[in-house]
Structure 1
């Protein structure tokens, strides 16, 4: 059964979320100790996390950063703050999607289902893809090269998978947003840009950064070492 962990300190909102998820036969629970948020998430092993920004002790950006050190579980931010720049910061911290309050519970469930669909689709696809001497494990979102390994978030893994599958060809921003965020709804281009920037930083660790080329006004292309 799908498990949703809710990191939200407004009890009324949390209760409504839990009630809505129960309608979809999802198990849902929330934080009991605000000093042990990451530990509670790890102990319960949810399929997805709903993360508010304004929280007791530390904010959602802090907890997302801490969680990303030990887990790649998908995270959806919810906040009363405006989409920009908080959405960009949330994605940069490690979130997979963002939703602004007030929101319809139906929209929240749709976002959860969209993130879970693309995560499960990745898990059910080819276990590994190769580009030159680089190997991407799409089950673990781990990129390896000559004994070095770098761990990607689920969103970064999907982006790199699309680039691997279309090596040498331009993948447009529209194609990326449609594939990653189920049609690109509720997502701004800046959010994709942040994911690309974060991916480039990780690719640098294995010497692949310069082979991810930006095609101005179009999208991105993964090129061979000799072409670059």
Structure 2
């Protein structure tokens, strides 16, 4: 799975973009400090950066220049500054794309997808997730462990994928149902219970027990 860093001091917008990216199967990183962004980029191993221009400490242009001194990671400027000079500076200093606010979500996703495909043409990490000896293959909708394979339904795939991208965190039942709703699927409380049970049974059938744990009154955690 590709990891995208959202560098924007507007927390509401950071969260909004982050939720869209998670729904579309990206992992995200949202820095809360802006005094040493290039160092955070070095340490985080992200695959793409969404970068605002107006930031505390250094502006986006300077940050882009510093990142370009050590990395060719794709950078998309997302900013309310919409003059030709701003766009020219962004591209000249090493940005790969320039999108002005307010932006169309689908256009933003299309630009991100296109840039990632160009930057990582031979990378298949967006198609599989591996965690605790379980391999989830998103393209074939299967899980694998120790040479054994089980097929997942569309709902099962979405639920397990959502739990995996939130690994180590408790995910509430409401969060899962909201996520499926955003993905144009609908499940009620009883259907979710049935799907979780089926996922657990399939994971256990390939040799992994207690992979999905229930936190009573809170939700599930992997």
- The TM-score range, normalised by the shorter chain, is 0.5 to 0.7
| Structure 2 runs not aligned, ≥5 long | 125-222
TM-score by length of structure 1 reads 0.52
| Count of residue pairs the alignment pairs up | 124
SS at match of 1:121: coil
The aligned residue for residue 43 of structure 1 is: 43
SS at match of 1:35: coil
| Structure 1 runs not aligned, ≥5 long | 125-228
Distance 2:19 2:36 in 1: 24
Distance 1:13 1:83 in 2: 21
Q: What does 1:21-60 correspond to in 2, within 5 Å?
A: 21-60=21-60
Q: What does 1:123-142 correspond to in 2, within 5 Å?
A: none
Offset of residue 122 of structure 1? 7.5
Distance 2:19 2:123 in 1: 28
Distance 2:34 2:117 in 1: 30
Q: Does 1:97 align with 2:97?
A: yes
CA displacement 1:156-206 (0-9 Å, x = unmatched): xxxxxxxxxxxxxxxxxxxxxxxxxxxxxxxxxxxxxxxxxxxxxxxxxxx
Distance 1:75 1:43 in 2: 16
- Specify the structure having the higher radius of gyration (Cα): 2
Distance 2:49 2:84 in 1: 21
The aligned residue for residue 72 of structure 2 is: 72
CA displacement 1:115-165 (0-9 Å, x = unmatched): 0111123879xxxxxxxxxxxxxxxxxxxxxxxxxxxxxxxxxxxxxxxxx
Distance 2:13 2:113 in 1: 19
SS at match of 1:28: strand
TM-score by length of structure 2 reads 0.53
Distance 2:36 2:120 in 1: 28
